[in-house]
Amino acid sequence: MRILEVITGGEPGGAQRHVAELVEHLAIRNHEVAVVHGGGHWLTQAVQHYADVYYLSDLQRDISWHDAVAFRALLRLTRHLSPDIIHAHSSKAGILSRLVANRLKIPVVYTAHGLVFFDTTRSLQSRMLYRALEFWGIKRSQGIITLSDQDFHFVHSVRAQVLVYKIPNGVAVQGVGPRRLLHSRNIGFIGRFSPEKGLDVIIKAAEISPYWQWIIAGDGPSYQHLVQSSRHISNLHWMGWVENTQEFFQGVNLIVQPSYKEGLPYTVLDAMAAGLPVVGTPVGALREILGQVDPRLVCPVGDPQRLIAAIAFAFEHYDELSRAAYTLVKDQYDVRRQLEKTMQALITVAES
């Protein structure tokens, strides 16, 4: 089967990791794969041994006049490649891919890595626009893959003639096993520095909890602003981008994910696979995952005091929460199962 994977950006991120792992899985099973993205070397390097990679500079994250140019370029490229199915990721690529697929009468599957209009850091106008676009896109898809119950229920509410799958992300469990809490109290965050990740809440929580060390790793558009605004907080440490996440996990006792919007973050699954308890907000799939470990690990969005209370609970019950987190990921969030289910969904849609 010839599969065209389309995603807006090629920089490091959860959706990009999803594409990279899926492309390798598909190629090893003798599917012919091509990848289209709008820029960034990470994804190209990750998939170049398994797929042809095409770069469309006008395929950008924000809505702009570039979208019309990107649509025409994607249309020409797709017509040339003549895939059996298009598999789209991220909101912008998802809309453009469905426009192209409908024009060329090619089946299309869209994987929703967290629907944008659930992001409360965006303006109401922006959220309404993206909701209308997703509503339109669902009705013009042959398949939709969601990572969370939240997105799954929204897609079903549209009542479109589309195959809908819930296929959560998965990770490889290295066999590290549960952790034990010793004397340190180091709280970690790792991810993209953008408004929806809730780093403003982390800064406020660090300021009112000087007895804990907060270690923040990652990069993104908000980096300089966040560092400048928190220089006075001595127990808050900015590491920048880290390549070795397992080494980072070894230096912290717990991970926080106080996001305003999520799909299913790999960092949460990776942390739990390393035996770390995670505290987060009830957005995307976080409510489902953390709730299965212990509902008291879930705190309200935008509330630093409740975040601190949930962390204190996690430290008090650390060993049992570490065991529960590790066991849950090992038993239910295996990457091989995720990739196989995704491949079968693509095959089903292409053949239907």
Tokens 């973050």 belong to 265
pLDDT attached to residue 143:
97
259 phi and psi angles, rounded to 5 deg = -75, 155
Chain position carrying tokens 């996440």 = 245
Q: Do domains 2-170+334-351 and 186-332 have the same CATH topology?
A: yes
Terminal-to-terminal C-alpha distance of the chain: 14
CA 236 from chain center: how many Å? 25
3-state secondary structure 271-335: HHHCCCCEEECCCCCHHHHHHHHCHHHECCCCCHHHHHHHHHHHHHCHHHHHHHHHHHHHHHCEH
CA atoms within 13 A on the CB side of 96: 34
User: Residue 188: which H helix or E strand, with range?
Assistant: strand 186-192
Query: Which pLDDT score, from 0 to 100, does residue 176 have?
Result: 76
CA–CA–CA angle 340, 344, 348 (5° rounding): 175
Distances (CA, A) of 295 to 162, 179, 298, 310, 320: 33, 20, 6, 10, 14
**pLDDT, one tens digit for every residue, the chain (352 residues):** 999 999 998 988 899 999 999 999 999 999 999 999 998 899 999 999 999 999 999 898 777 788 999 999 999 999 999 999 999 998 899 999 999 999 999 999 999 999 988 988 899 999 999 999 999 999 999 999 999 999 999 999 998 899 999 999 999 987 778 888 888 899 999 998 989 999 999 999 999 999 999 999 998 888 888 988 898 999 999 998 888 898 999 999 999 999 999 989 999 999 999 999 999 999 999 999 999 999 999 999 999 999 999 999 999 999 999 999 999 999 999 999 999 999 999 999 999 8
CATH architecture of 186-332: 3-Layer(aba) Sandwich (3.40)
CATH class label, 2-170+334-351: alpha beta
CB 198 within 8 A of CB 259: yes
Question: Which strands make up the sheet holding 186-192, listed edge to edge?
Answer: 236-240, 213-219, 186-192, 254-257, 278-280
Q: Which helix (H) or strand (E) holds 71?
A: helix 66-81
Relative to beta strand 2-7, strand 108-112 is unpaired
CA distance linking residue 269 with residue 283, whole number of Å = 15
Residue of 37, 42, 45 whose CA lies nearest to 77 = 37
Tell me the per-residue pLDDT of 22-69, one tens digit each, with 9 for 90 and over. Answer: 999 999 999 999 999 998 899 999 999 999 999 999 898 777 788 999
Distance CA 103, CA 227 (A): 46
Instruction: Return the domain boundaries, the chain.
Output: 2-170+334-351, 186-332
pLDDT at 12: 87
- Cα-based distances in Å from 65 to 10, 55, 71, 88: 20, 18, 11, 21
pLDDT, tens digit, 9 for 90 and up, residues 151-166? 999 999 998 899 999 9
pLDDT at residue 299, as a whole number: 97
pLDDT at 62: 77
